[in-house]
Amino acid sequence: MLVQNIPNLSPVSQSQSVSSTSVISPAAPLHVAIICDGNGRWATTQGLTRTEGHRAGAETARRVIRCAPHLGVGTLTMFTLSSANWARPAAEVDGILRILYEYLMVETSHCLDEGIRLSVIGRRDRLSPTLREAIIESEALTAKGRKLHLRLAVDYSARQSIFQAASKFYKVTDLTSEAFGSVLSEVMRGGSTDVDLLVRTGGEQRISDFLLWECAFAELVFLEKRWPDFTPSDLKNAIGEFQKRERTRGALPSECS
């Protein structure tokens, strides 16, 4: 069962936040996706349980979410729970879902106040009724947020999403990639837009069935740092790396100017 008693959560420290007066580059990535990897390994090095590592990761997520709009990010998608993660011990998966429930209970009001729209993409049939209700309520309350679109990928598989979209697509008469993208957006509930920058922490260099369609032209940044150690400054640096790259989408540089 999901926890009902929600503990007090520490606020963002000034040393780890990014000033709201940060200069926003016109070349900032509009859609940033993050594979938040390394919670369990971080916990092991700290002598903690893996669930405690996921809780530390949730605190990192709070800090990153709060700084993202000040860095010019319009959409932030975070890989919270992969469909493949059900293969892990039940206690760990339940711990992740408990933390997600706590986040929704505590942070929905903050998202509402800050103009953050919250969406959850992925399957919901394997989630508890309590968590499903919390997701629906959070999405409804924050639906008008325009400052940032925060998407949490829960029980998510890009292959499964594409398969679901393909299963519906055969009924569509407009057989174009744009039309398929629209069907995929419908399947994913929270909408679907191209990812500009994909960041993965934890030292691995793969995208692990995450936003395969949307990442077709994404710039990739892989970091050794594990997710609980990730800071708003690391996101700022990743965006700085993104801004240095020449994005041609297959064309010649002169044709993109």
Residues designated catalytic: 37, 85
Which tokens sit at 81?
């729970």
**CA torsion, points 85, 86, 91, 93, in degrees to nearest 10?**
50
Burial class of residue 67 (count of CB atoms within 10 Å of its CB; 0-12, 13-18, 19+): buried
Which tokens sit at 24?
């926003």
Query: What burial letters (b/e) apply to 215-247, b meaning 16+ CB within 10 Å?
Result: beebbbbbbeebbbbbbbebbeebbeebbeeee
**150: which strand partners?**
76, 118
CB 21 within 8 A of CB 67: no
